Copies of this chain bind each other. A is one copy, B any other.
Amino acid sequence: MNLPMMQVALDCNDTAQAINVLRQVEDQIDVVEAGTILIYRDGMSAVKNLRAMAPDKIVLADVKCADAGTKCGVSCREAGADWITCINAATVPTMSNAQKEIEVQVELYEGWDNKDRMQEWLDHGIHQVVYHQSRDAKFAGQKWSEQDVENVKNLIAMGFKVSVTGGVHPEILQLFKGVPVYTFIAGRAITGADDPHAVSKQFKDEIKRIWG
C-alpha cells in the first residue's frame, strides 16, 4: 500500500504567515495548500508565492470552485497550482471544465451523499474527493467516527482517491488503519502549534508507523 500523503492547509490570514509556517514544515509534507481564507485575502499572489517556496511539492489552491470552472482552473494553473478544489454543489459541467485545465478535487460538504452524481464525476474524469468535517461543524461538537471511516472506505471502493480533512490530529490517523487514504490534510493542528515542524513530523512518523 502506498503511504498516504501529508498535506498542510495554510489557512492563514496573510501570505507572510503562510510562508512562515511552510518554511518550518516543508521537509515533512507532500502537498502545500493555499487555503480558501488565504486566497480570499491575498488572491492568486498567495498561490504564486507558495509555489515559489516549494517548487517540488504538489500545490493545491483551495478555491472551492462553484462556477466558471474554466476561468477558475486557468487562473490557478497560471499561478502555479497543480490541483484545485471544487465544491460538491458545483454542476458537472463546471467540474468538468475545471478538470480540463487542472486536477480537480471535489470537496464533500452538505448534500454530497448522492451516488448517481458521484458516478457522473468519475465518468467525467474526476477521481479525487475530499471527505471532511467542516470547521464549523467541528466547533459544533462533531467528532470523527466509525461512520466517517466507513464513508471513506465506500468512496475508495467507488474508485475515488480520498483525502481526509477537518480536525485531523496525529491521534486520529489510526482510525484509518488499513484504509488506503490518499492524503491527510491538517490545518490548525500544524499552523496553530507552538512547534509546527514537530507536529508535522509526528504526522509523518505516524503515517509510516501505520501504513509503512
List B contacts of A75 (CB < 8 A): 37, 40-41
Please determine whether B117 and A36 come into contact, CB atoms closer than 8 angstroms. Answer: no
Would you list which residues of chain A between 1 and 52 have a CB under 8 Å from chain B?
11, 36-37, 39-46
CA distance A45 to B14 in the complex (A): 12
Please determine whether B41 and A66 come into contact, CB atoms closer than 8 angstroms. Answer: no
- Closest Cβ of chain B to A72, distance in Å, is 7
CA distance A96 to B67 in the complex (A): 23
Question: What does the 1/0 interface line of A62-75 toward B look like (CB < 8 Å)?
Answer: 01101111111001
Chain A contact residue count (CB 8 A cutoff): 44
Is residue A178 contacting chain B, with contact meaning CB distance below 8 A? no
Pick from B44, B45, B91: contact of A134, CB below 8 A: B91
Please determine whether B43 and A135 come into contact, CB atoms closer than 8 angstroms. Answer: no
- Closest Cβ of chain B to A133, distance in Å, is 9
Is residue A128 contacting chain B, with contact meaning CB distance below 8 A? no
Q: Which residues of A are interface residues toward B (Cβ below 8 A)? A: 11, 36-37, 39-46, 63-64, 66-72, 75-76, 87-91, 93-94, 96-97, 107, 109-112, 114, 117, 134-137, 139-140
List B contacts of A11 (CB < 8 A): 68
List 9 additional A-B contacts (Cβ < 8 Å) besides A68-B136, A87-B87, A87-B89. Answer: A36-B72, A40-B75, A40-B76, A42-B43, A42-B44, A89-B111, A91-B136, A93-B137, A93-B139
CA distance A47 to B88 in the complex (A): 26
CA distance A40 to B43 in the complex (A): 5
Please determine whether A67 and B110 come into contact, CB atoms closer than 8 angstroms. Answer: no
Pick from B39, B44, B64, B88: contact of A111, CB below 8 A: B88
Please determine whether B111 and A87 come into contact, CB atoms closer than 8 angstroms. Answer: no
Please determine whether A37 and B72 come into contact, CB atoms closer than 8 angstroms. Answer: yes
